[in-house]
Amino acid sequence: MFSERIDRLTSSLVRDILSATQQPGMISFAGGLPAPDELPTPDWSGIPASAAQYGPSEGEPALREAIAEDARNVGIECDASQVLVVSGSQQGIDLVSKLFIDPGTPIITEAPTYLAALQSFELFGAVCHGVPLGTDGIDASRLREVAQDTGARLTYVIPTFQNPSGTCYSAETRAAVAEAADDLGLTLFEDDPYRELVYNNVDRTPICSHIKSAPWIYQSSFSKSFMPGIRVGYLIASPDLMPHLVRLKQATDLHTNRFGQWLAHGHLTSPGLADRLAHLRQAYSAKRDAMDAALTEHFNDLAEWTTPPGGLFFWLRLRTPIDTRELLPAMLERGVAFMPGEVFFPATAPSLGYMRLNFSHASQEQMHSGLAILAEAVRATPAA
Ligand SMILES: Cc1ncc(COP(=O)(O)O)c(C=O)c1O
């Protein structure tokens, strides 16, 4: 009755976790949600009446201009004709999957990588080959080897405050990955939703700004720095890819909600933007530091981690490699939600003994009580 791809829809686990986090009293380290206190009040005043009508598939021209200008400021050579507004960057992943993936298509991802991207790629039938993430990103020579061995034509990376690991690629690695993509003609798909959530002074230059000849897609979102509820993100692509992406967007939902696009435009062009972002960084870096201290108290003997220089997550490598998925039901029962790390690895590169912990949502007291419960369960679990 259904399409053959339905059998490839995975992970009821994540839906279970996210629905559990809605329960009152739950301490959630699971999602990647902005802190409720940091969500701005929507300002509807600048929205033209024409927003009530159908609009262009590419997005509101004024928003596309503002996005292109912002991207040029971070080094991406582009104009507004290369910008496609999408209904959250999750839709960008869907459109890119549709453009590049048939059943059996090999592609390259980081290992670990963003779970919902893996799910989308695999839904369309991709075989995802993971390149291990090191402390300053993936090794470009390993990327070259995997591309050559597998024949992959697309690589998906999150170089800045990666989800789930928080890793930020060094300047050298960014340049080396771009050079590998150019040499191999490998399409680079760079996902960059966390770039504004920066707490330490690190290089955040998009890899796409280093590309000379390979096809590329850079995408970002208003979800983490503004509001996820508006479901507005964007992608910027090399001109050869744009006509295909626009047609796919049109076939998917005609265009992104125009009211949300105007709210995003108001945010991006607001004279108060720099102050708002500075406040957000200050608030989240304080939360990051509180979580770091709580982790040191409860997990010092149990795990290793690097303090993330930006983004929303700590990535714990447990000293004893247990399958953290097995801890989850008991933890949800005790009112603590977290993301087991195993689900972020492509099937070709499985790995045990990791946890992703979000620090933007829980209060300081919840961090301590939640981590104490989690640490007790880890300590009581024998190695897999
Ligand atoms: C790496 C990455 N890409 C894409 C998304 C999707 O974001 P949105 O669809 O809200 O723009 C997320 C959300 O957590 C993410 O972490």
User: In this predicted structure, what is the pLDDT of residue 11?
Assistant: 63
User: In this predicted structure, what is the pLDDT of residue 46?
Assistant: 86
Ligand 1 touching residue 233 (CB < 6 A):
yes
User: In this predicted structure, what is the pLDDT of residue 12?
Assistant: 64
Structure confidence by residue, pLDDT tens digits, 219-243: 999 999 999 999 999 999 999 999 9
Ligand 1 touching residue 90 (CB < 6 A):
yes
Q: Looking at this protein, which amino acid is placed at residue 141?
A: S
Backbone angles phi, psi at 224, to 5 degrees: -90, -30
Q: What is the mean pLDDT of the chain?
A: 95
DSSP states along 71-84: HHHTT----GGGEE
Ligand 1 touching residue 114 (CB < 6 A):
yes
Is the pTM above the cut of 0.85?
Answer: yes
* Å from CA of 90 to ligand 1 middle: 6
Return d(Cα 86, Cα 88) in angstroms, integer: 6
- Kindly report the number of other CB atoms within 10 A of residue 304's CB atom: 11
Structure confidence by residue, pLDDT tens digits, 142-188: 999 999 999 999 999 999 999 999 999 999 999 999 999 999 999 99
User: In this predicted structure, what is the pLDDT of residue 326?
Assistant: 92
pLDDT at 13 over 80: no
Ligand 1 touching residue 358 (CB < 6 A):
no
pLDDT at 266 over 80: yes
* Å from CA of 358 to ligand 1 middle: 14
Q: Which atom of ligand 1 is nearest to the CA of 222?
A: 11
* Å from CA of 379 to ligand 1 middle: 32
| 90, 110, 195, best to mutate for ligand 1 pocket (most atoms within 8 Å of CB) | 90
Structure confidence by residue, pLDDT tens digits, 31-59: 888 888 899 999 999 899 999 999 999 99
- Domains of the chain listed by start with CATH number: 4-39+274-379 (3.90.1150.10), 54-268 (3.40.640.10)
- Over residues 186-212, the mean pLDDT reads 98
Q: Which atom of ligand 1 is nearest to the CA of 91?
A: 9
Return d(Cα 167, Cα 221) in angstroms, integer: 19
